[in-house]
Structures are given as C-alpha cells and as structure tokens.
Chain A
Amino acid sequence: MHQLKGLRLVLAAYTALFIAFLYGPFVIMAILSFQQGPEGGPQFPIIAWSLFWYKHVLGIAPPSRVAPLPIGEALTRSLILAFATMVVSTILGTLTAQAFRRRFKGSSFVFYLIILGMMVPGVLLGLGMALVAEQAGIPRTWWGTAFVLHVVYTYPFCFLVMLAIFNRFDASVEEASWSLGVTPATTFRKITFPMIFPGVLSAMLFAFTLSYDEFPRTLFTAGSQVTIPIAIYGTFAVEIHPNLFAFGVLTTLFSFALLTIYGVLMALSVRRAAARSIGLQEEIA
C-alpha cells in the first residue's frame, strides 16, 4: 500500500514535469507577448502589460524603431502551400494504403521507398533538391520545388495513418456490398469511404500541420519568395522583439481553431449519417 502511494507520487511528479516542459515555452512566450512596447524586450520583468506587440503584428501600432514582421505574403503562401500539400498527400496516401491492402510483388520495397520520404533528414533532401533544380535549370519556387518536397515529406504520414485505418477495416463489409450487386466503385464511395472518413480527416490534419511549419526542406527550395517559418527565422538575424511572440500566440490560436474544426467535422460526420437515415425514411414515406 505504502509502496503504491510512493509510486503514484513519482508518476504524478513525472507527469507534472512533462506538462511543464510541454507547455512551459509557450506559456513564457505568451506572457512576454504582453510586454510593453516598443521599448520592452523579450525578457522579464514585464515593465507594464500592453497589447502593443499584437497591434504591431497586425500593422496598427504607431510607427517605431522596430520594423514590422515581414509576414503578410509569407503567411498567404504558407497557407496555400499547406492546403495544396494536404489535398495531394491525403489523396495519394489513401490510394496507396488501399493498394497495400493486398500484398503485391515488391510491396515491402515500395513501402520502405515511401517511408524514406519522412526518414531522410530534411536538410539533405532540401539541399539535394536545390542541386537537382540547379542542374536541371528548374527555378526554385515555393509552389514548385518546395511543394514537391512537402508532398514527399507528408505523404508517408498520410499513408501510415491510412494503413493503420485499413488494418482495422473489415473487408467483409465491402464483400457484402458487392454481393448485394453494388459495383466496387460505388462500394468505395458509399461504404468504404464513409467508414474510413475519420482516418482521412486525421491524415489531412497531419499533412496540413507538417507542411505549415516545415523548415529545412523549404529553406533550400523555396527561392526568394519564402514561407512563414523562413520569414520568422529571417527576423532572428536582426533582433528579437516580443512581436514574434505575439505572432506565435496568434498562430497557436489558429492551430486550435483548426483542431476545433476537425473535432466538429468528426462529430458532424457521425450525426449527419444518423440524420440522413431519418431524412431518407421520411422522404420515402
């Protein structure tokens, strides 16, 4: 009994430490983002609480010696890039996982080939891509060379998520559909896809977030029009101001918003299916 209590204490302390390390950096950053500006710096103590740096990020603060963050266009690029990467990687990952439901000749080789995309160090891949582009005379752009690498990087994650989903998927449900006279294509649309949809949502989330804050691959391949992580890194070279922290807080809130949308979509997909069946019965009645 006593030993058990001791163990519980140790585990509780461990959990507390874990949470401290997980949220600590963000909490410190969030507090410092309310530092007085423009004279207050990225350190304690807080001179006075203010929303100056938030106004600064949004470009509504009075002009001062601190240059505005060069993020407007970079943010748009990052969002477009993350969205496109999400769409392509999720489709590719789902189709590949579907192909892997049956063992085919060389399937394990192809498996490791795909997984390589997330295993190879990003710096190497970015540098290599830059060299290839240089040799082949392909211009380095965020929507070209960088986009390709984002897909190479996120596609294995989507693939693995969908592989896990299909692993638990009971194929007899599809066989039942075929045996009712439903073609394989319609079966995929009406039976398979609705059943794997939660997995598809997770794959999309993975692809989007991984692409959105991807750094090393983008650094070497995006060319002069940079994405948001590169733009932020660029400001470090000069001097760090709390406006960066304010931006960090806003970005994190954006991520939470995405997660909320994900959660709502999940709940809706369950509820809509129920509502549709009731609606269908009423419609026919």
Chain B
Amino acid sequence: MAADIDLELVQLRKVYPGGTVAVEGFDLRVKRGEFISFVGPSGCGKTTTLRMIAGLESISSGDLLIRNRNFTDVPAEKRPTATIFQNYAIFPHMTVWENVAFGLRVRKLPSAEIKRRVDAIIDKLELGSVAGAKEGALAGGQKQRLALARGLVTEPDILLLDEPLGALDANLRKSIQEELKLLQRNLGLTFVFVTHAQSEALSMGDRVVVMNAGKVEQISAPFELYTRPQSPFVARFIGRNNIIDGTLAEAAADRAVIATRFGPLSGLPTFDRGKTVTGHAAYAVVPSEYVGIEAVGGAERQDMAGVDGTCTALDPVGQVVYVSVRLDDALEVRLETHREMLSGRGIAPGTPVHLSWRPDRVTIVADAA
C-alpha cells in the first residue's frame, strides 16, 4: 500500500539565513504516476519546495522521502529526480544530441546503450532533425522538448518541472500543455509541476496544491478545488468566484449559515468547525457560472437563494457576456453568462437585477482562527 507512494513530504520547512520562512508545515503524499501541480502567487514557496525536492535548496526541517527512502540530506546529484527549468538551462556548448547524452556519459554507460537510449528519446520527442544543432539554432518549443528529453533519458523516479511553459507564447503553451500531459500518461511517471497560472494547474494536475505565503492552503483534485474551496484565499485565487462576506450564524457538518448585509446565506462548510465558532468572519462563495440573473420583479423560485443588486456593466466576449452587478457600495460582483440568457430580459447597465443560485452550489469558507 505504501509501496506505490513515490514522493512524501513530512512537515517540510525552509527558513532562509535572514530568518525568512519560505515554506512551512508542508505535508504531501504523491502516488506513482500522479501529476501533481503546485500553484500560487509569486513568492508563495512553490518553487522553493520544488527545489528542496530536487536537492537544489537545503531542507531546514522535516523529511523528504522518495519511494520510501529518506533523501532529506542527500545532494542533488544522488537523487532519483530530474528537473526541467523555466529557462530550460540547455548546455550551450553542446549539441542537442550531446545535451541528452551528457547525463548517461558521466554514468560511464557502454556507448552502444547510450546511443540506443538517446536516439530513442530524441525520436520520441521529435528532435531528430535538430540532433546536431546547438541551443542558438533551436526554437522555444524545441528547447522545451530538449530539456524534457535530457531529463527523461536518465529515467528518474520523479520529474520536477519549474514553470516549464512560462517562456513560451500562448499558442505554443496550449499545445505543449497537451503534449506534456500525454507524455506523462504514456510514461506513467510522477510529475511535480510548478506554475503560477491556475489554468495550467487545473487542466494538467491530477491533484493541485494551492500555496500562499509559504503554507499549503488546499490539496484537491481540480474540480473539487474549483467548486469547493477550503479557504478564502483559494476562493479568491482559483476560478471566478463571487464572494459575499458575513459572520457565521450556525454551522453543522453539511450546512452552515452566515449572516450578511443581504440576509442569511447558506452553503456547505469546508472550514474546521472545531476552530471556527459562531460570530467568526466567514464567506459565502458562489462560482460565477452558477449564478443566474434576471430583472427584478420576476417570480422568485423558492428553492433558490439570491440577492438583489444593480447592473453596472455588460462586457460581451463572443458568446459569453460578463455582467458586473453592484450589490452595495462595498461589493460589486461579476458573473458570466451566455448572450441568449440575457436577450429580452431587460437587463442593461443601471437596471435593478436579481441574482440567484442553488444553495447547494455555495461553499462557506472561513479563515483559520
């Protein structure tokens, strides 16, 4: 059962010499063949954590286990990991072929085997036509694939990717994203993928770790992360959520109610009920796709919750229309809907509108006490 855990972090902590805590209390278990993404704003500690796994950054306290062996104090070159850097770190004085062969040549493998393995991976990643070229002659996507080939040829247990798509243009990023996911599935290799872009994290990760200020906020599958945030930070950072603030009025295991300026709102609580008590600040989180909009005066459905506001702006982008609605002087929300849903409903900037949603779509989150 524990045999197929590739990576385990136990209370991982990084303190820089100046006393700055970069990462703390990081617990994680990654199954073999899992694609796990780390996402968070810059400076949240995601890259530091990746570098601690790679051995490029020392671990201040806690344990790092790879396939049940403790690697906490093992130097980078003795770890069964390979790292892909954002700038690819291609060796500029070597050709593509030599770059890939380098990791095997220093292992003193027989040259026939080196050739077989290098040729195989160069073939797999379609680098054959540039095998004799150097970094200067390569396009962005080719450098990216070279970095992957160079890492994969050494057959690591875990591939660590540090913002590997950051330097590519948007179109290329999309296609490489798909290639990368496909490659990972075919190889059945464990990937740890660091990104600041939530779309990359959500579309590529089997699970996503959201980090903020050196701490893990949530570890969930993408859909759960999207629909059931566990903290106000995650609710703001992931997806497009409408967030209404209030104070906790009552909390049960499957239903919590918060008192807001717009009346009581209920939803599924994801906070620790042992720590967050009645009267504590809490937030109702509604993904903007789940919010319906109509002009005030229509028949309100009993099974729906909702609030009233004033439409302030309509921003159509193709078929999708983003609607801004002012609830009161302190709160304006933005929701997305389709062009057809708005036509003929008399919704225009300045008109009063009613927003509604199914109460079970709502998540109630609270800051840890």
Q: Which of B99-107, B169-177, B243-251, B326-334 contacts A (4 or more CB under 8 A)?
A: B99-107
Which among A175, A180, A181 has the highest number of chain B CB atoms within 10 Å?
A180
Complex CA gap A186/B134 in Å reads 21
Our pick among A175, A191, A277 for the contact of B83 (Cβ within 8 Å) is: A175
B77 contacts A285, C-beta separation under 8 Å: no
| Chain A residues near B (Cβ < 8 Å) | 170, 172-173, 175-184, 186, 190-191, 194-195, 273-274, 277-278, 280-281, 283-285
A195 contacts B92, C-beta separation under 8 Å: yes
Complex CA gap A191/B77 in Å reads 14
Which among A178, A191, A273 has the highest number of chain B CB atoms within 10 Å?
A178
Chain B residue numbers with a CB within 8 Å of A179 are 54-56, 76-77, 79, 81-83, 151, 160
Number of A-B contacts (CB under 8 A): 90
Q: Is B270 an interface residue (CB 8 A)?
A: no
Chain B interface, DSSP helix/strand/loop, else mixed = mixed
B115 contacts A180, C-beta separation under 8 Å: no
| Chain B residues near A (Cβ < 8 Å) | 54-56, 75-79, 81-83, 85, 87, 89-95, 97-98, 101-103, 106-107, 111-112, 114-115, 131-132, 134, 147, 150-151, 154, 160
Chain A interface, DSSP helix/strand/loop, else mixed = helix
Complex CA gap A179/B90 in Å reads 13
A284 with B115, Cβ < 8 A, contacts A170-B87, A170-B89, A175-B56 known: yes
A180 with B93, Cβ < 8 A, contacts A175-B56, A277-B132, A283-B111 known: no
Chain A residue numbers with a CB within 8 Å of B91 are 173, 176-177, 191, 195
Chain B residue numbers with a CB within 8 Å of A273 are 93-94
Our pick among A172, A182, A194 for the contact of B103 (Cβ within 8 Å) is: A182
Chain A residue numbers with a CB within 8 Å of B79 are 179
Our pick among B93, B102, B107 for the contact of A177 (Cβ within 8 Å) is: B102
Which among A173, A175, A179, A186 has the highest number of chain B CB atoms within 10 Å?
A179
A181 with B77, Cβ < 8 A, contacts A195-B93, A277-B97 known: yes
Complex CA gap A233/B266 in Å reads 97
B98 contacts A180, C-beta separation under 8 Å: no
The residue of chain A having its C-beta at the shortest distance from the C-beta of B82 within the complex is A179
Chain A residue numbers with a CB within 8 Å of B97 are 277, 280-281
Our pick among A170, A181, A281, A283 for the contact of B154 (Cβ within 8 Å) is: A181
A181 contacts B103, C-beta separation under 8 Å: yes
B89 contacts A172, C-beta separation under 8 Å: yes
The residue of chain B having its C-beta at the shortest distance from the C-beta of A272 within the complex is B93
Chain A residue numbers with a CB within 8 Å of B106 are 180-182, 186, 190
CB distance from A170 to the nearest CB of B (A): 7
